[in-house]
Chains A and B, each alone.
Chain A
Amino acid sequence: KQEVTQIPAALSVPEGENLVLNCSFTDSAIYNLQWFRQDPGKGLTSLLLIQSSQREQTSGRLNASLDKSSGRSTLYIAASQPGDSATYLCALNYGGATNKLIFGTGTLLAVQP
């Protein structure tokens, strides 16, 4: 069974801290992995996509890594800001032809000013 778990479920940090969000998966035969953020009452915004052949992707203060052998991905946020407060979701794509995403349980991040 393809399960995706995110730890911690919730995280509160003071502004300016660097932080790491974790995503673990049981089936490592993925095509790619996406990190999304979801603001309250809003849709999902794609942050980063890592193909299965890649180890990491970077965009601004965000860096996502992928280690298929251990079934883990991390999202690193540098110098956190209150505007980073949101729910962060990882999603795994196992079916390349269908692009079906299996979502993780999410991490609710609160950055305190």
Chain B
Amino acid sequence: DTAVSQTPKYLVTQMGNDKSIKCEQNLGHDTMYWYKQDSKKFLKIMFSYNNKELIINETVPNRFSPKSPDKAHLNLHINSLELGDSAVYFCASSQLSGVGTTDTQYFGPGTRLTVL
């Protein structure tokens, strides 16, 4: 009965490859997020989708493309992987109750991506 799940948990790949990370939430939330945690453990927002619509798109290389087939899923596809993409990627979800009123964000276990 995992709330926010991600697959795979670990991903090791060569530079230049294309890879995807999947995220699913069973909390009935309408908003999902991707965060990146770098080697210094600093967490930063990358993307956010609300009801399958992109609402946050930080300064992220366009090699990163999120896709939300439905509001319970938000996948992250990365093209032409680079060494600097090595990090832990976290998916999260929450319920937006209206402007200025937001609920707790629930995080997945993370996907550790290593680019060789």
Contact = CB atoms under 8 A, between A and B. Distances in A.
Contact of A99 (B102, B109, B110): B102
B56 A98 contact: yes
Interface residues of B, number: 29
Nearest to A32: B102
A46 interface: yes
Interface string B43-86: 11100101000011000000000000000000000000000000
Contacts of B50: 98
Contacts of B106: 46
B15 interface: no
A43 interface: yes
Interface residues of A, number: 26
A34 B104 contact: yes
A84 to B, nearest CB: 18
Given A43-B110, A44-B90, A100 B56 contact: yes
Interface of B: 4, 31, 33, 35, 41-45, 48, 50, 55-56, 90, 92, 94, 96, 99-110
Interface of A: 31-32, 34, 36, 41-46, 49, 87, 89, 91, 93, 95-103, 105-106
11 contacts: A42-B110, A43-B4, A46-B105, A97-B96, A98-B56, A100-B48, A101-B105, A102-B45, A103-B43, A105-B42, A106-B41
